[in-house]
Structure 1
Amino acid sequence: CPAFTDDDLIEIVRAGTALRQVAVASRPRVPRDVATVLAAEGKQEAVAALAANDNADLSEAALGVALDRFSNAPEVIAALAYRQVLPLSVTERLVVLASEAVREHLITRHALAPETAIQFADFARERATIDLVDQARATDDLPAFVAGLNSRRVLTPSLLLRSLARGQIGLFEHALAELAGTPHHRAWLMVHDAGPLGLKAIYDRAGMPPRLFQAFRAGVDTWRALQAEGGDTGSAAFRQRMLERFLSQRPDAAREDLAYLLERLDRPADDGWRGAVSAA
């Protein structure tokens, strides 16, 4: 019905059932204010219908809200991905979340370079892994877990730097042992060697990139300094202090790794736990 004003439609969205919300989201024209309320308050099926409606005036912010709310809903992700026009920021987020078929569409339709898509997908995998390890406290069988990561070729320098910066020294030790083919107790001694040679030796033996050594050196030194100050090294407070102090040293790390760590710095303390449960 063309007689409804924007305020009428917003009232219907806020007071109506999912069926009525879908009806509003599917109208031949959905004004920006109405689309914004639907993205923020609509039920999942209504947001999917809204995303599939190219005549819905969805701002970049509203698209981001829809992604925040329904990042685990494939139908919403696909509907957003198949919109005719998408901001680059939204496209990049969708590449991380989308299925392989939808990702191919994004690369083709929105001129996103394949290497960019692969980079974002790898970044998402690493982030999910480290968030899960961070909250589960590295599982009861860390050597097996690390071996599994290595077998899937995701035991990367990027993953290890992110884990170390968040206080996961155990994961770092076992990863170097795995990559270097060295027993863990020997890797532990070399990582925690007070001199300048032990860490460098095991780092090189593991085939890690020379350009990142100083960043890893800073991470290990930061962890040891905080441990000496006292406190539970397994606590969320310790991980937060570790991250803050590590970043304050301006480590020479890849831009995407620093972006990840800064994002983690901004999250509430319990946010990682929700992410870990979701990833699990």
Structure 2
Amino acid sequence: MPGRRWPVGRSRMKHDKPTALTPADVDQLAQDRSPEARIQMLSKLLRTAEQAVLAESGQALVQDLLHRLAHDAVQQVREAVAWQIYNSPFLSDGLARDLALDVISVAFPLLRHGEAVGDALLLEVIGQGRADKQMAIAARQTLSEAVSGALAAVGNLAVVATLAGNEGAALSDASLLSLADRYAHVPLVAEPLAGRATLPASVVERLVAHVSDKVRAHLVERHRLSPVIAAELAAHGRDSATLALLRPVSKPGMDGDALAVHLHEQGRLSVPLLLRTLCAGDFDFFAAGISTKSRVRKANAMALLLDGKWDGMKALLDHAHVPKHLFAPFQVAMRVAKTLGYRGGAEGRDTFQTEALGRIYAECGQSEERAMDNLLLQLFDRKHDDMVDAAMDVAGMPFIPLRGNVPKK
């Protein structure tokens, strides 16, 4: 069994005295050819050898005996060899290869735990096509990009999922992108992939695109939408899913500025997304987005936002090609932030979100502009019911979904 552990000579207490092999040991082995006898001899041999009792000639004898035992006809003996030497100085390259290419119960300790096992051997084993061995390798404490890339290409879901969730596996951007392209629709792989500490913006964008497809299918099925309306709302879903992913990926190694640049290059840094990030209280990403679209320094954009200087922010929105008739919701959100003294942190975020949504709906919800209706639809889409109710209390009116006709005063 892969989980079997055999006694390791190195773990003996310090007060144990090593005992060299004697002619009596050899005679006993000749008389008793049971697996237990050979395993007992193996343990004694390694204790003696690793405590430097053997002379140089004896070391060569150890290597020869280990090779013989590694090819023993009894699997139990070969397992004992593997478990006792997977990190031993007596594990030669040839011996490692013999054990790694054996059945999984013999190969497991080397493939899973062997620190000296090189990439060339791991790649050879992966090429055998054995899923059980690939699983053992995928769970190693560390993996190089070359080995991770080979595992990513094997096509076995369990192996790929284990790899995606292994933070010790070095995955190149190309491998990550390939996994996102092939498995974004498979939760078994997509979930651990999305949970990695660092992800390039291109992979985040692929995951966002997949979620958008799910949202589109859900809308078409549940609301019996026409293809035209479904296509229009698909963009809403992309922005909503993008915003939902912003916070989880804002970890060490995931640069919000880089993500803003990537989304802009992909044509995905939209006006609705900017408004949603602002109203969500994600000031850092909002400043990064406005900075990217307007080509001004992020620090300047953040200063204007935190100081509540609308004239300056209005100029940035103009440079960012935000239509002037959509400026109002941004102005309202900034005014709410200034009134509350909110500066984009976790403290006070819920209060700011509720107040901003309510004031925007009250002041902008009766606009004759269809573009404003669409913008507010996307702003409220996927908001929790309790938050919408609280926002409507702020607005002093019931929430009438903007998908329908909003009564005009």
TM-score by length of 1: 0.49
**Relative contact order (C-alpha < 8 Å, sep 6+): which is higher?**
1
Q: Larger Cα Rg: Structure 1 or Structure 2? A: 2
TM-score by length of 2: 0.35
